[in-house]
Amino acid sequence: MKRTAVVFAGLVAAVLVAAVLGICLGPIRIPMHDVAAILLGHGDGGVAQRIVLDVRLPRVFMGACVGVLLGTAGVLLQGFLRNPLAEPYLLGVSSGAGLAVTAAIILGMPLFVAGVYVLPPIAFAGALAALALVYFLARSGGRLEVTTLILAGVVTGSILSSVATLLACTSTARYFEAFFWLMGHLQPATGSAMGWIAAYTVAGILFALARARDLNALMLGEEEAAALGVRVEALKRDLFIISSLLVGAAVAVSGLIGFVGLVAPHLTRLLLGPDHRRLIPASAFAGAAMLLLADLAARTVISPAELPVGVVTALVGGPFFLFLLVRHARSVRGRRA
């Protein structure tokens, strides 16, 4: 318990430090004491206050929410598929959500219908369809092979991303907006959008935690989980829906950001073990910290210009994925020998 408390305290501290740095640093640096004064309502109404309240604070909030969504989706997919290499971006789930949102943007659909922020449900439908397709393609003889799953996900994701890019090219007015969004990019959202994303984030986390105990049983195998009283098919359906909801909500506001859902669960699993009752909230915090730091790097590395945050996460997560892939291949060869 002491180790768990220390790990969670460290993760919370990492999120807070990343958030503070994200608010203070950028093309225009704002001292921490000025930021504190602005947040406490003692600002002078100048440029610094507008930057903090209208740009950086909403962006940090959205970055934290997206990191939580991707980190949680990653740990659910890895547990549900019993595959340490599962990740929303690599499995094509993000691309399915991205294609759905791109189509909505190009078609000029309104962002709000009857006061409801509609992009997350649209992205959710695309993510769910992509995940179901990849699962269907990769499952053979009742089993999911790691190599087949990754190949099915990468190919499906590439096709869906290509279709999304093709759609973006049909609209000269929105081409650059859609292209930059497809690369993964955080932008401040309106108050209503932030409220809806916060609601999706909280709901997704609560639903995931509600299934954590059953997910632990599923890690033992489907037959063993059924013997323990778990309704396996209902659990799989629920995890399909929850994962797609999380990914859809993230993609709706940030575009395609990869590898957060791969790195965050692995790091927290090394620290806390495989119990999803601890792993789910820990991965959420780790995902938030990782994405906030990645966004900070995206805004400052070539300042005053800005990189897509998806590029930064790929530069970090790509080598990490290759390392895991090589290690997995070696372990498989060792078992066969």
Which pTM was predicted?
Answer: 0.91
Of 17-31, 58-72, 171-185, the poorest mean pLDDT is in: 171-185
Cα 191 to chain centroid distance, Å, stands at: 21
Look at the block and give the residue holding tokens 């575009």.
Answer: 255
How far is Cα 212 from Cα 230, in angstroms, rounded to an integer?
A: 12
pLDDT of amino acid 146: 66
Q: How confident is the model at residue 27 (pLDDT cuts 50, 70, 90)?
A: confident
Nearest in space to 185 (alpha carbons), one of 251, 278, 91: 251
Distance CA 232, CA 218 (A): 8
Contact 205, 72 (CB under 8 A): yes
The residue among 151 and 278 whose pLDDT is bigger is: 278
Structural domains of the chain, ranges and CATH numbers in brackets: 2-336 (1.10.3470.10)
Q: pLDDT-based confidence at 302, cuts 50/70/90?
A: confident
What's the confidence (pLDDT) of residue 241? 87
Mean pLDDT, rounded, of the chain = 87
Rounded Cα–Cα distance for residues 141 and 198 (Å): 40
Is the predicted pLDDT of residue 290 greater than 90, yes or no? yes
Given a cut of 90, whether residue 325 has pLDDT beyond it is no
